[in-house]
């Protein structure tokens, strides 16, 4: 059989691999056995050392201390001195810790006292500032309200003057020979009770005088003031009886534009629309 044929023989290849595996397994077993022998050698050496030490102790005789009173007192004093020394060390340590704690306590107490003083000072300052703020706020609010009321009063007077001039210029009476009455509505303030249209000392008439008079018409300005006085003076019954002094076209003007309203049950009575509500 040629060499090439041997290389190609599968049985020959398998034998070679088996031999290699067996050789490797044998080497591993040898190494394990060698390791076990080394450990056994160490154990043997330890046994020899212990045996020699035991033999040495067996040869020696322990020294017995005579149990007389002097020796016992001496031993007791030594133990007592040792114990005393240990206790002194413990006491010194405790005293040192106590001193440190005492210093810490004094330092914390001092800090607490300082904080307490600061807190009291801040409380006093807060109370003073609170009083100042309250006083300043009340005074400031009062002055602001006073200024606003003054501005509103001036604006109101300006509006009433403008309204009076507008009504006199654009809504005159049909007969220009009738003397026009200036009511100076801009100088009035609306009170919870009816106010007079005109002072009697100046030849002016009250609401009752106007309603009872049938010989003279009143201006639209006067009609509005009568309705306005009734609305604010008697809010629970704001209706006014239509008299001959009310010029019908002006009544119709007020009704058509929603400025005045008729009584739902009495068409001869009208009221001013409550625009302020």
Measured between its terminal Cα atoms, the distance across the chain in Å is 133
Backbone angles phi, psi at 121, to 5 degrees: -65, -40
Question: Could you tell me the strand order of the sheet in which 269-272 lies?
Answer: 240-241, 269-272, 260-262
Site of tokens 């004094």? 106
Comparing 259 with 70, which gets the higher pLDDT?
259
pTM: 0.37
Three-class DSSP category at 211: helix
Bridge-partner residues for 263, per DSSP?
Answer: none
Q: Are 258 and 231 in contact (CB under 8 A)?
A: no
Spell 53-73 as b/e; 16+ CB within 10 A means b: eeeeeeeeeeeeeeeeeeeee
What are the tokens at 225?
């003031």
239 — pLDDT class (breaks 50, 70, 90)? very high
What confidence category does residue 254 fall into, taking pLDDT thresholds of 50, 70 and 90?
Answer: very high
Model pLDDT, residue 253: 92
In the predicted structure, residue 235 carries a pLDDT above the cut 80: yes
Sign of CA dihedral 176, 182, 183, 187: positive
pLDDT of residue 64: 61
pLDDT of residue 262: 93
Tokens 């300082």, residue located: 114
Per-chain mean pLDDT for the chain: 77
Region 141-158: what's the mean pLDDT? Answer: 88
* Structure tokens, 126: 């807060």
Would you say 252 and 258 are in contact if contact means Cβ atoms under 8 Å apart? no
Q: What are phi and psi of 75, to 5 degrees?
A: -60, -40
Q: Please, what is the angle between helix 220-233 and helix 248-256, to 10°? A: 60
Residue 107: C-alpha distances to residues 36, 120, 155, 170, 221 (Å):
71, 20, 69, 91, 87
| pLDDT of the residue at 135 | 61
- The pLDDT value recorded for residue 111 is 92
Distance (Å, whole) CA 200 – CA 153: 26
Q: Could you report the per-residue pLDDT of 84-133, keeping only the tens digit for each? A: 889 999 998 998 889 889 999 999 999 999 999 999 999 998 888 877 76
């Amino acid at each position: 059989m040629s060499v090439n044929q041997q290389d190609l023989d599968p049985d020959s290849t398998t034998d070679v691999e088996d031999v290699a595996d067996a050789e490797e397994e044998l080497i591993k077993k040898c190494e394990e056995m060698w390791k076990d022998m080394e450990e056994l050698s160490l154990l043997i050496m330890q046994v020899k050392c212990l045996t020699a030490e035991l033999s040495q102790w067996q040869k020696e005789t322990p020294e017995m201390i005579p149990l007389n009173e002097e020796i016992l007192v001496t031993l007791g004093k030594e133990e007592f001195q040792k114990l005393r020394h240990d206790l002194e060390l413990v006491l010194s340590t405790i005293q040192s810790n106590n001193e440190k704690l005492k210093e810490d306590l004094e330092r914390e107490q001092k800090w607490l006292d300082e904080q307490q003083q600061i807190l009291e000072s801040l409380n006093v300052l807060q109370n003073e500032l609170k009083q100042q703020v309250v006083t300043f706020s009340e005074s400031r609010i009062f002055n602001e309200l006073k200024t606003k009321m003054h501005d509103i009063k001036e604006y109101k007077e300006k509006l009433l003057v403008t309204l009076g001039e507008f009504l006199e210029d654009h809504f005159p009476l049909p007969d220009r020979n009738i003397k026009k009455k200036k009511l100076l509505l801009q100088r009035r303030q609306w009170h919870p009770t009816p106010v007079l249209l005109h002072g009697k000392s100046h030849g002016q008439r009250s609401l009752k005088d106007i309603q009872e008079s049938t010989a003279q018409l009143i201006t639209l300005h006067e009609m509005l003031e009568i309705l306005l006085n009734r609305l604010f003076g008697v809010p629970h019954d704001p209706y006014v009886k239509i008299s001959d002094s009310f010029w019908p076209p002006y009544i119709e003007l007020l009704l058509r534009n929603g400025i005045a309203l008729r009584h739902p049950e009495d068409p001869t009575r009208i009221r001013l629309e409550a625009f302020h509500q």
